[in-house]
Amino acid sequence: MPSSLLTSLLFLLSISSSLAQTYNILSYGAKPDGRTDSTKALTAVWAKACASVQPVTILVPKGRFLIGSIVFDGTRCKRKSVTVRIQGTLVAPSDYRVIGKSSHWIFFEHLDRLSIYGGVLDAQGASLWSCKKSGKSCPSGATSIGFQSSTNVLISGLTSLNSQMFHVAINGCNNVKLDGVKVSADGNSPNTDGIHVQSSTTVSILNSKISTGDDCVSIGPGTNGLWIENVACGPGHGISIGSLGKESVEEGVQNVTVKTATFTGTENGVRIKSWARPSNGFAKNIRFQHCVMNNVQNPIIIDQKYCPGNDNCPNQVSGIKISDVMFFDIHGTSATEVGVKFDCSSKKPCTGIRIQDVKLTYRNKPAVADCSHAGGTESGFQRPNNCL
């Protein structure tokens, strides 16, 4: 490249960099005391960022900022790309009723090239959990942070604490990367899925630690191209595909890889579950590999008789077709005698199941396998009974 052209490019880059604007929420009235409502300040900052034609960064500095439910909608933004840098903590109102009837506490939609770096989200959900456990009439609760109808999303180094419902939800998005995410809630907190993905393509969850009261990662209908790697799960209900088949007409789940995951004291390890009722959905091309189980109740499980509360499904059979699922190099300890359980649909049996190098023990002996309506191959599978 001629030196004159290189000089011109560097000059243009320097101009572009100098044109980038940073909006500090302190300048719009936010208070870092954890008591003053800063929702209006964030709303004002978003309006400014949306109106800008230049690259924009929204800065949340150190401190605790109290905010209510807020939506960041990029529909009318001049630029769909925004960077959010959180150095402090966003905290929800202590009264769960303030945001409890909202679907989300913090919600991003209709954006392209959205990046969120760092920060802590503290939803203060414990009081709502207590309400639900008491049997009283309570709101469902808000998902702490959600992303919808967006592309090229990066979430890096974010921590979510004590969500009312789900911690992070990805819905209808394309090309999403979550890296270094931390999720923390009590192991008995209800419906607090760590990261939920549905109706989305090309999503990766990397280098993350999830401790919660429900699924560490839940994978819903319409997920295609999900890569999960180097994730620690526990406490929680494991990494679950499903539940699928709640609707009779439903998108399938395909091309999912879970690699190098560790499960400690969880209810499940790797799981596929579907409602016991008719559906046209499916789950195919699934890979679970290089996973470690530490005292997990159900290390490997396919459950096609899922019917919580016997709601609309007793005496029915799942219509979800499960095929081409591989379990490779999964080892460790089971908290129950059955380490591998395949309870597949009698109407649409599981096919193409592959088990390779699976070694699970229960009380220092090989855990048993319990399989029905499942077909496939196995090798290096240490267990005292036949399965496939």
Catalytic residue (one of 104, 167, 196, 237) = 237
Residue extent(s) of CATH 2.160.20.10 domains in the chain: 20-202, 215-307+315-387
Residue 205: CB atoms within 10 Å:
28
Q: Are strands 365-366 and 350-362 parallel, antiparallel or unpaired?
A: antiparallel
Residue entry with tokens 């309400």: 131
Whether 196 is catalytic is no
Averaged confidence pLDDT in the chain = 93
pLDDT of residue 12: 41
CATH architecture of 20-202: 3 Solenoid (2.160)
**277-305 pLDDT, tens digit each:** 999 999 999 999 999 999 999 999 999 99
pLDDT of residue 58: 97
Q: Report residue 315's pLDDT band, with 50, 70 and 90 as the boundaries.
A: confident
> Can you say whether the dihedral through the CA atoms of 34, 39, 44, 48 is positive or negative?
positive
State the pLDDT at residue 19: 58
Contact between 182 and 206 (Cβ < 8 Å): no
pLDDT tens digits for 181-227?
Answer: 999 999 999 999 999 999 999 999 999 999 999 999 999 999 999 99
Q: What is the pLDDT of residues 153-188, one digit of tens each?
A: 999 999 999 999 999 999 999 999 999 999 999 999
What is the CATH T-level fold of the domain 215-307+315-387, as seen in this structure? Pectate Lyase C-like (2.160.20)
pLDDT of residue 314: 75
Nearest to 116 by CA among 88, 144, 85, 91: 85
* DSSP 8-class letter at 141: -
Distance CA 322, CA 324 (A): 7
